[in-house]
Amino acid sequence: MIKAILYKEWIKTRYLFLVVAVVLVAFTAYCQLRIGNVISLRSAAHLWEILLTRDNTFYEAMRYVPLFSGVLLALFQFVPEMQQKRLKLCLHLPLPQNKIIGSMLGFGVSLLIALFAATYLIIFLYLNPILAPELISRVMLTMLPWFVAGIAGYAFVAFTVLEPTWKRRLLNILAGVAFIRIFYLSGYAEAYNQVIVWLLIITLALAGLSFLSVSRFKDGVQ
Amino acid sequence: MNPVITCTNLTHHYGKRLIYENLNFSVPEGRILGLLGKNGTGKTTTINILNGYLKPSGGECTIFGENIRHINPITKQRIALLIEGHVQYSFMNIEQIERFYASFYPKWKKEAYYELMDLLKVAPRQRIANMSCGQRSQVALGLIMAQNADLLILDDFSLGLDPGYRRLFIEYLREYAKSEQKTVFLTSHIIQDMEKLIDDCIILDYGKILIQKSVSELMDTFKKFTFKIDDAQPSLPADNEFYNPAVYRGNGELFTFQNKEYVEQYLHKHDIEHSQLMSESLNLEDIFIGLTGKY
């Protein structure tokens, strides 16, 4: 039965999945092209120098891409469920409510993690022959908050879309914007190293807010 | 016959607006019961409460003996639901939606669904979103029939259907429910054709149940009386046995379960000069209007 729910989620999101994958690859390729240009025009040593002395990781163009990916995925997954209150169909399925919603959210978060992990892998494979492990780690740790922001964006949009009343939706949007802003407060490299694990834990916990929205929907709150 | 659905003292408000108070009804096993009422009388509210999508302000409902707020998933497999407007997963095509639902229901009858889909003449890969309202209604009906549930709950199935599709839906549903001994609870605000489908009806008025009876009993016993009034009588005196008595241009009319003698006695008692007192048998739509009024 869970497989059937995942199948439904896949039907809703498969084209978006392709678009997001292409966009992530395109942005990654663009950033790597810039790195390649530095190496061919100057040298790898110059690249190392920039990475060590400045806050430029060459991947800044990707800053908001994971966030938009998360937001779009949640919209594609949950707007069709709320149109004509289609969520009722889902809640009528012979499965416990939390299992149904948990599967839907789990699908979305897993899809994002898979896309982000693939992006990380591409970046790692490209940088591995060029940079020292410490510098690769510097690039990846600098990018990590952007990817966590993508999951936070997903969680807050799901929370907002599944909420049955517009008044609460607005409040949810404001809370989401305030929380996601945290991930973009600092532009310094590795600025979030001390807190990123906590931010990730909080983000995953916030994904559970959607259960609250569904519970309100089920109580018929208008 | 055991009741499949039982509602006791069901009460609901939206904010301060009372929808109904202390509603009591039950749906016997193997019967097709229609909850009929004008717009805004609480038909969809009742369906939402029964399916656990709305917490009632008061009272309790059970389906197969289980409180509807805590229905076991196994029991849910025995309940098929049609949402108002035949809402389904419109982003799926007819093959995908069948594959999706099949895994949830152990008694799934794929052939019942495809038998109906063959009549639709749509491509197997056509998305439901691109179908007409009538075609979507058949997809929803096909899914319900394939689910092979013991109880079917249909919310305003006639919404948006042209007469042809409405008739097709009714005939298929009636034939299916009777041959497979299913219990059906449905709502509709279109009463036309309904006497061809339902066995029993509950007629809801604002805030209360007006009547719960079998359709045959209702059609046998509920009558319209018409008569000519000789003097200028602006209105008819109230009587608890009469529904919506009225006078239009010297023609009196009233609706009642009482017989002709009772009406004559009433007219004599109130010294109403009259002639041509006649009674008419009514179809279900006229009975509905007679009970609830035109306004």
Q: What would the pLDDT profile of A95-149 be if each residue is shown by its tens digit? A: 999 999 999 999 999 999 999 999 999 999 988 888 888 888 888 999 999 999 9
Is B55 close to A220, i.e. CB distance below 8 A?
A: yes
Residue whose tokens read 């999945």: A17
State the pLDDT confidence band at A179, using cuts at 50, 70 and 90: very high
Query: What's the mean pLDDT in A6-11?
Result: 96
Are the CB atoms for B23 and B9 separated by under 8 Å? Answer: yes
pLDDT of residue B38: 84
Confidence of residue B112 (pLDDT cuts 50, 70, 90): confident
Shortest Cα–Cα distance, B96 to chain A (Å)? 9
Q: Which residues contact B79 (CB under 8 A, 6 or more apart)?
A: A92, B63, B71, B149, B150, B151, B152, B153
What residues contact A171, with CB distance under 8 A and at least 6 apart? none
Tell me the shortest Cα–Cα distance from A69 to chain B, in angstroms: 21
Q: What DSSP designation does B42 have?
A: S
Q: How many residues does chain B have?
A: 295
Is B159 in CB contact (< 8 Å) with chain A?
no
Domain ranges, residue A59:
2-218
Domain chopping of chain B, boundaries: 3-214, 222-292
Beta carbons of A86 and B87 less than 8 Å apart: yes
As a whole number of angstroms, the distance between CA B200 and CA B6 comes to 15
Decide if B3-214 and B222-292 have a common fold. Answer: no
> Number of structural domains, chain A?
1
Distance separating alpha carbons of residues B259 and A146, to the nearest angstrom? 80
A7 shares contact with chain B (CB less than 8 Å): yes
B46, B75, B76: best to mutate for the A interface, most A CBs within 10 A: B76
A218 touches chain B (CB under 8 A): yes
Burial tier of B179 (Cβ tally within 10 Å: 0-12, 13-18, 19+): exposed
Give the amino acid at A157. Answer: V
The C-alpha R_g of chain A, in whole angstroms, comes to 19
DSSP bridge partners of B202: B35, B212
B105–A contact, CB cutoff 8 A = yes
A183, A145 Cβ separation under 8 angstroms: yes
Q: Which of A77, A93, A99, A162 to mutate to test the interface with B (most CBs of B within 10 A)?
A: A93
Q: What local confidence, expressed as pLDDT, does residue B214 receive?
A: 92
Nearest to A91 by CA among B109, B76, B186, B140: B76
**Region B3-214: CATH code:** 3.40.50.300
Q: How far does A96 lie from chain B, in Å, by closest CA?
A: 7
Q: Which residues of chain A are within 8 Å of residue B12 when distances are taken between CB atoms?
A: none
Indicate the pTM of the whole model: 0.85
Contact list, B91 vs chain A (CB under 8 Å): 11-12, 80
Strand partners of residue B66: B63
- Judged against a pLDDT cut of 70, whether residue A39 lies above it is answered with yes
CATH number of B222-292: 3.30.70
Question: Could you tell me the two tokens for B104?
Answer: 């949830």
A12 at interface of B, judged by CB pairs closer than 8 A: yes
Q: Which amino acid is at B86?
A: H
Q: Tell whether ipTM is more than 0.90.
A: no
Is A94–B76 a contact, with Cβ atoms under 8 angstroms apart?
yes
When pLDDT is cut at 50, 70 and 90, the band that residue B231 belongs to is low
Q: How far is the C-alpha of B293 from the C-alpha of B244, rounded, in Å? A: 6
β-bridge partners, B62: B6, B67
Interior angle at CA A31, CA A115 and CA A119, nearest 5:
15
For B67, list phi and psi in degrees, rounded to 5. Answer: -60, 130
- For chain A, the average pLDDT equals 91
Average pLDDT over residues B82-89: 88
Nearest by CB: A95 against B52, B54, B73? B73
Residue B202: band (very low, low, confident or very high) from pLDDT cuts 50, 70, 90: very high
* Interface size, chain A vs chain B, as Cβ–Cβ contacts under 8 Å: 67
Instruction: Tell if the CB–CB gap between B54 and A84 is shorter than 8 Å.
Output: no
From residue A138, give the alpha-carbon distance in Å to each of A39, A65, A131.
Answer: 18, 19, 10
**Nearest-CA residue of chain B relative to A6?**
B100
Rounded CA-CA distance B234/B232 in Å is 6
How far apart are the C-alpha atoms of B43 and B33, rounded to whole Å?
13
B133 and chain A: CB distance < 8 Å anywhere? no
Phi, then psi, of B277 in degrees rounded to 5: -70, 120
SS3 A91: helix
List of residues 6+ apart from B85 with CB closer than 8 A = A84, B133, B156, B159, B160
Question: Is the per-residue pLDDT at B161 higher than 80?
Answer: no
Strand stretches in B65-194, DSSP E? 66-67, 79-82, 151-154, 183-188
pLDDT at B166 over 70: yes
Of A12, A88, A219, the CB nearest to B51: A88
Amino acid at site B137: S
